Structure 1
């Protein structure tokens, strides 16, 4: 089964550090406004998940994994996109746990193929209401070495290649 969300090894390493300091954590993919559309990292339970929020997956980081949520309306706009949570130097969102670390989480994206969309459609979704009733995903979302491993950019794509070679497009 294709995962709706992945995390890079560098982002997973930072997430492990944050879990050591703060205990279990979660992500909520921000929909904009003050913090752009960054994945916001909170101590688990400090951000109230709404009944219509959608669980994109549970990242395979830490003993309990890290759930990644998105609002229902935003999911409808992004349901065709796999999110890859990555990390770069810079100041994170004001409310996100990585803000004081000199790093910031960001979302990169890859559009699902038609076959992947069909597979995901049959798999169904877990909403906040389902989660409150005990629904959980069957497995965990994997860690990838680099964002480009999950989301390769064709060589020579305008405005995307840089000193480090091809990079996955940034959503936030």
Structure 2
């Protein structure tokens, strides 16, 4: 199975830190507004996930969502959750840690895309 969202070891370590501090968390890939295109980490009570969001998968047992309209642009890519040094997003839970979640991406190969195409089409049905 080809994963649509994966995480680096550094991201997995920061996820564990956020879980230790806050308990249950989730991610939502920002659409480019206030926090640019950051992956924001939230408490489940801080963000409503609805019909305009797509669940890409889980990283470190944490659900990762993206808005449908942004998903349309990025559906041919695998998102890679990473960590950079610096200020986190103003809305994201790691904002005061000196680290920030950061999303990288890579295009799926033709073979990978064929394997997941039916799943992608079902997600938006």
Instruction: Give the TM-score normalised by structure 2.
Output: 0.93
Q: Which has the higher helix share?
A: 2
Q: 1:102 is matched with which residue?
A: 98
The residue aligned with 2:13 is 13
Larger Rg: 1
Which residue pairs with 1:160 in the alignment? Answer: none
Q: What's the RMSD between the two structures over aligned residues?
A: 1.5
Gaps spanning 5+ residues in structure 2: where? none
CA distance in 2, matches of 1:45, 1:3: 26
Segments of 5+ residues of structure 1 without an aligned counterpart are 131-172
Equivalent position SS for 1:117: helix
| 1:82 maps onto 2:78 in alignment | yes
Paired position in structure 1 for 2:35: 35
- The corresponding residue for 1:118 is 114
- Distance of 1:123 and 1:49 partners within structure 2: 20
Shift of 1:52: 2.5
3-state DSSP of counterpart to 2:71:
helix
Q: Report the count of equivalent residues.
A: 124
Q: Deviations over 1:42-82 (max 9, x none)?
A: 012321112121101012x2xxx100000001000000010
Give 1:126 deviation, angstroms.
Answer: 4.3
Q: Which has the higher strand share?
A: 2
TM-score, normalised by the number of residues in structure 1: 0.69
